[in-house]
Amino acid sequence: DSGVTQTPKHLITATGQRVTLRCSPRSGDLSVYWYQQSLDQGLQFLIQYYNGEERAKGNILERFSAQQFPDLHSELNLSSLELGDSALYFCASSVGVAASSGANVLTFGAGSRLTVL
């Protein structure tokens, strides 16, 4: 157990629907990262939060949004789902976000597998 908890583990839904993926970071970690893993695109960075604030944004679609709450858990909201959104979504956490923390290791959760039919 990495200490990063993601729910649900599996999710099957239909096109056009909206889902929410949840992540609880490892105890003591303030930064949360979301990644999308698909067969053709590999592991793509979506977005990063630190202590409730958005800090970096990757190739995240406008249909996707995220937030980090005061208790540091994070949610990734995916709306108007398309077949191509089917993927494994990972959350990772790390201790900090200051420049000196660039060497910090990311700890990953087990992922949420989304299937859009």
Q: Which is nearer to another protein, 5 or 67 (CB)?
A: 5
Q: Residues interacting with another protein, by CB under 8 A?
A: 2, 4, 31, 33, 35, 42-43, 45, 48, 50, 55-56, 58, 90, 92, 96-103, 105-111
CB-count burial class (<10 Å; 0-12, 13-18, 19+) for 32: buried
Minimum CB–partner distance for residue 45 and another protein (Å) = 4
Number of C-beta neighbours around residue 47 at 10 A = 22
- 15 or 51: whose CB is closer to another protein? 51
* Enclosing H/E stretch for 45: strand 42-50
